[in-house]
Amino acid sequence: MKKFRKVLDGLTTSPGTIGSPTCGSAASTPTAAPTPREIDVQEMLVSENFQICKTVRHGFPYQPTALAFDPVQKIVAIGTRTGGIRILGRPGVDCYCQHESGAAVLQLQFLINEGALVTACADDTLHLWNLRQRRPAVLHSLKFNRERITFCHLPFQSKWLYVGTERGNTHIVNIESFILSGYVIMWNKAIELATKTHPGPVVHLSDSPKDEGKLLIGFESGTVVQWDLRVKKADFRIYYDEAIHSVSWHHEGKQFMCSHSDGSLTMWNLRNTTKPFQITFPHGKVGKDGRKESCKPILKVEYKTSRNSSEPFIIFSGGLSYDKAGRRPTLTIMHGKAITVLEMDHPIVEFMVLCETPYNNEIQEPYAVVVLLEKDFIVVDLTQSNFPIFENPYPMDIHESPVTCTAYFADCPPDIIPILYSIGAKNKKTGYSQKEWPVSGGTWTLGSQTYPEIIITGHADGSIKFWDASAITLQMLYKLKTSKVFEKPKPSEGRAADLAEEDPFAVQMVSWCPHSRVFCVVGISAHVILYRFSKYDGNTQIVSLDLRLQGDGEDPVSPSETENNPCFSDPSCHSPQHPPASPGCGTPDGAKDSNQCLKVKSRPVRMPPGYQAELVVQLLWVDGEPPQQITSLDVNSAYGLLAFGNCNGLAVVDYIQKSILLCMSTLDLYGAADPYQRLTRSPRKNRQSTSDFCMRGLSNFYSDSKKRIRTSYQSLTELTDNQVSMDMERSKSPTSVPYPTSIHNDPRILPEPVASLRASHYSPVFYLLDNDHVNGHCTSPTSQPCSAGKPRLPVGPEGPRLTRRGPGRPPFRKAQSAACMEISLPVSHTEGYASRRAMLQQLHGVSMYSHDEHHTTSYCWTERESRENSFSRSRSSSVSSIDRDTKEAVTTLQFGESYGRKNDALPSPCLWVGTSLGVALLIPISIPTDHEERLEEALTVGPSGGVLMLKGSILRFASLDCGGSLIQSPYEVWRDPNAPEDPDRPRRRKLVNFSPSSSQEACGDGHLAVVCSEKQAKVFLMPSQTCLFVHNITESSFVLRADVVSVCNSICLACFCANGHVMTLSLPSLRPLMDVNYLPLTDMRIARTFCFTNGGQALYLSSPTEVQRITYSQEMCDNLQEMLGELFTPIETPEAQNRGFLKGFFGGNAQNVDREELFGEAAAGKASRSLAQHIPGPAGMEGMKAAAGGVVGDLARARIALDERGQRLGELEERTALMMTSAETFSKHAHELMLKCKDKKWYQL
């Protein structure tokens, strides 16, 4: 605990340099000095309260490659191409592991009921994982140096692992020591000496169910060898013309089945191995000419027997005929004469048949099939004739449509999750199997510290999913489809067809108030939808408002026009039918050319219980130019207001009265308080169609990338945009900063008149695949989401000026999934690029300009970076002036109670507006307090409040009282809009207001305002707008996400930087508490989806299909072990079936073999050291066992082992007694039979 005191004695706001680190006020008039007082803040947080670690990963494993199942523990493991392992059990048991090498997982093998897992990776390394702990760890590794691993097999209850290689050899590894045995089966000894060709890699290994001393080896060329391990020679060899993909034994060990590359299945009997006794083509038909259809390979076959039926189950994947184009991948189930073909939505990676017994020499009794697809995971019920699938309890469908944005809400109202679940359960699919989910291993209990958490994901098809994320689990609650608000888009022709979007409803950002249940959605087609929650059906007419938030940089602007009153003073601005027109909102004569991107349903729409659309606000096309994407959004239920902005300006909508309050360009918001001197725009000489250029560029873009960008998982670097931005051409001018030519080799250079740019500044302009904003913030907060049009250099009476027209963007951008971004950002100043501008140029192909860069001379990178970081501005108009036509994006918005002006005595409703130039505007709003007046009287908005300055784009606002506590935004208590009317109790709005004046003990009237940008954070005292604390967060990078969150019953400022650092700062003193390089090589997908929440938690999209949750709270890290599930539970291994005395006497039982005697060092010797290298685990086996559970755990396991041993001994004694009784009975009957037949002749018998 530390106490901060700052004596504010006689401080005045001087008209010094705007934006100086010591004062954030932009006003140039001094204010009266406040009275001397102390700000007494008790800061509870210290560095020991913070530690960052991963908690759990949800979703489908990205790019799966391997599958394994433990039939006793009933857990499943999935390996991926990136070296990840997901281990799943009952709901809540979900563990993620990662190989340090990152090599693809080729094969997985459980040590059945032993709590261990063997993985074979593409770098020819075997790993042994210990699963007897909540966080699995590697015990041993074995790296093969001279041979490549192709197949592994571990017999049940054996400690010797068979490893097949690409050269055709078979090696044997001791699982306990993870050392190679000297016993090797060489390929040239396995085949006949007369064979001149190599048999190919080993594709199958299995021991005979009848005799453990016989090993069946399958080679890719079609050769099958049964090797006698005892005598070290082959029992038989099979040569077949077609390549082999898999082999499966009958449980009696007398025959086996092979699948081949020509789509055939062959059955072989051990009595006659010269040829197969059965050849079938399950999907190959004979044509009229007598020829069989050519079929695709059968990649895997399983041959299982059942007690209830004499017919076996034959299950395989593939084998379809080639001539049937467009057929989906299939899984075929053959049971007797019945053939069932199950079509899959995605290619099959692997499948496994789940059986009742782990012994391969018993009747298998299959009950389910686990099918791992490229993008899904399903389980088929084999016990029912129609083979239904089980309902998947895991959140495997996050990527059902590509994720485009995320939001994370912790400590939600406790009633919100049950109500969402009850409504979402009504729309669940039916037809699932009624049996319990078969993957039921592990144990999981609800942690002691749990609270309601909700994750919201927006998707490319316009759907929104609400997930229950409480207690580090994830369960789908409710799904909302925003596309139902609009009419279906009609197919277009010609050039419009090139712009026709496959995902016009893609969700770009969301804003949700859990208390009032008001929900806002921003779509990629520049539309905003407002939803209200209801438990009843509704038949509602959706209100649609259209407005033009379109800047036109080429329209001639006279001094009188620039001095006109803002549009909010016009009474017509309150009419939804007539959107206001202003210099920043487009020209009035363009109204005749305005059209909507999407058409809202005009008829009353029946809406089911849940979120029901109430209002749609759309930005219109103007003069053939599409609207810019919306970059910021906020909604406040207490005020009944909705605000959003883009790179052209700001709009405020009253959703109670369904009217537009404000529609202004960003420049007009300043009024007389504009901190920049901006040049007037040059007169337009010709109206050359910018849209033609943009259309041409977009046509090239879509023709080149349309098919690949749809739900593909290609990296962003593979997608190209042929549109050439004006900024890139400007970067080639003599006055621009010299960029490396390797970034963009454009030989074109702008003419000499562009030298006039040296007297002006431009806001940064770039976008990322037409969708650079997620969750209300830009990917780079300094960025502008608008692209530049074609450069034109008109020469007017004022001399040459470079003018720029508002960019033309397609109405429906290709929904850039946050899942398919793979561009790496620089780690630090020394790694990659010298500045974020160079990095952004590399990412987006345009040059970056900011208000804090001076383009008077050409700097080298070091000088330019130091000049940027110095954050000093000259007051000369030749340096600090900004072109009037510059686009200044609205990057963040927040409603709240504050002091709009310095002389305000009481707080009032305000709107905080942050821009890409580092300016924070405070706009007061006059709202009637009476309920009836609020419904009828017009609201007034006065954009003439305070102006604060920071370095870099504004990211986040927050308000604190003078005691350091967070002031929440006011909200309206939820009331059902469709509930039946009660005449005795009229429906009135109930508001909850958190006013700054509620805590006045510390500093009287006033509160603290926290403003965070991509470079620094500041704390201001309101209403004097005096800067109390300032902290430069980063110099070499920039902040991507920032939020004020609660941790350990206190608050802090959490930041995520582009270089992968996660930081926390105390409030209000902005003292650094944590700075961890968490993601050394981050990418744009993480940058777009990273979000903080209360409780010291955060999440991001770690892959296109997975959500990674992390914590930066030491308290949660300490409690994480009890929150995670146990993968291993002590279970007694089932006993083998007693096959009877007579059957065993006549050779029915399987023959056992002492593998230790065959493969041990005493008999087989040592393997060559150069063949494989043993790599011990982090702490060795003993250390890992100790870490798994300590002495108590070891004693418990020893006690369980003793109990199991005693129980087995008791059962053995009982079986021995039973056999003795049976033998005595047999002897008695034999003696009686002998006495009966003793005196009879042979012919009397």
Radius of gyration for the alpha carbons in the chain, expressed in angstroms and rounded: 36
Burial class (CB in 10 A: 0-12, 13-18, 19+), 483: middle
Annotate 887-901 with b (16+ C-beta within 10 A) or e (fewer).
Answer: bbbbbbbbbbbbbbb
Q: What element of type H or E holds 778?
A: strand 777-778
- The confidence score (pLDDT) of residue 731 equals 34
For residue 928, say if its preceding peptide bond is cis, omega within 30 degrees of 0: no
Strand segments, DSSP code E, in 632-700 are 632-636, 641-645, 649-654, 659-665, 678-679
Distance CA 41, CA 1010 (A): 15
pTM score: 0.77
Strand order in the sheet with 137-144: 105-111, 116-121, 125-130, 137-144, 1172-1176
Neighbours of 183 (CB within 10 A): 19
Tokens representing 510?
């969301």
Q: List Cα–Cα distances, 1243 to 1235, 1237, 1240, in angstroms.
A: 17, 11, 8
- The confidence score (pLDDT) of residue 744 equals 36
Distance CA 1160, CA 1164 (A): 6
User: Average pLDDT by consecutive 10-residue portion of the chain (1245 residues)?
Assistant: 40 34 34 45 91 94 96 96 96 93 96 95 96 93 94 94 95 93 92 84 94 94 93 92 94 94 94 91 80 89 90 93 80 93 95 94 94 96 94 93 95 92 87 93 80 94 95 92 90 49 89 95 95 93 89 40 37 38 39 70 92 95 86 95 94 94 88 65 42 33 33 33 36 34 35 33 32 37 39 39 36 43 40 42 36 36 36 32 61 93 88 94 90 86 82 95 90 89 74 64 72 96 92 93 94 94 95 90 81 95 94 91 89 81 53 80 79 79 46 57 70 81 85 79 63
- The neighbouring-strand residues paired with 1172 are 144
- The confidence score (pLDDT) of residue 653 equals 95
The residue type found at 167 is R
**CB 782 within 8 Å of CB 765:** no
| DSSP reduced 3-state for 1140 | coil
Distance CA 296, CA 322 (A): 6
- The confidence score (pLDDT) of residue 1204 equals 66
| DSSP reduced 3-state for 333 | strand
- The confidence score (pLDDT) of residue 1005 equals 67
Distance CA 1195, CA 466 (A): 45
For the stretch 1215-1240, pLDDT in tens is: 888 888 888 888 888 888 888 787 77
Distance CA 2, CA 1163 (A): 71
**CB 220 within 8 Å of CB 200:** yes
Alpha-carbon dihedral sign for residues 469, 474, 479, 482: positive
**CB 998 within 8 Å of CB 1016:** no
Tokens representing 481?
């489809």
Closest CA to 1085 of 770, 822, 785: 822
Any idea what DSSP says for residue 736?
S
Residue 1218: what are its φ and ψ, rounded to 5°?
Answer: -65, -40
**CB 767 within 8 Å of CB 694:** no
**CB 675 within 8 Å of CB 919:** yes
- 39 Cβ contact list (under 8 Å, min separation 6): 4, 5, 6, 8, 962, 1002, 1003, 1021, 1028
Burial class (CB in 10 A: 0-12, 13-18, 19+), 76: buried
**CB 1040 within 8 Å of CB 1057:** yes
Distance CA 736, CA 755 (A): 9
- The confidence score (pLDDT) of residue 710 equals 34
Alpha-carbon dihedral sign for residues 1192, 1194, 1196, 1199: negative
- The confidence score (pLDDT) of residue 316 equals 97
Contacts 24+ apart (CB under 8 A), 149-152: 149/106, 149/107, 149/120, 149/124, 150/106, 150/201, 150/202, 150/203, 151/107, 151/201, 151/202, 151/203, 151/204, 151/205, 152/107, 152/109, 152/118, 152/120, 152/126, 152/205
Angle at 297 between CA 293 and CA 299, to 5 degrees: 150
Q: What is the dihedral of CA 711, 716, 719, 724, to 10 degrees?
A: 130
Residue with tokens 């970076």, as numbered in its chain? 865
The residue type found at 570 is D
Q: List Cα–Cα distances, 297 to 102, 281, 307, in angstroms.
A: 30, 11, 30
Strand segments, DSSP code E, in 418-542 are 453-459, 463-468, 475-481, 507-513, 518-523, 527-534, 538-540
Distance CA 956, CA 1014 (A): 9
Distance CA 566, CA 548 (A): 15
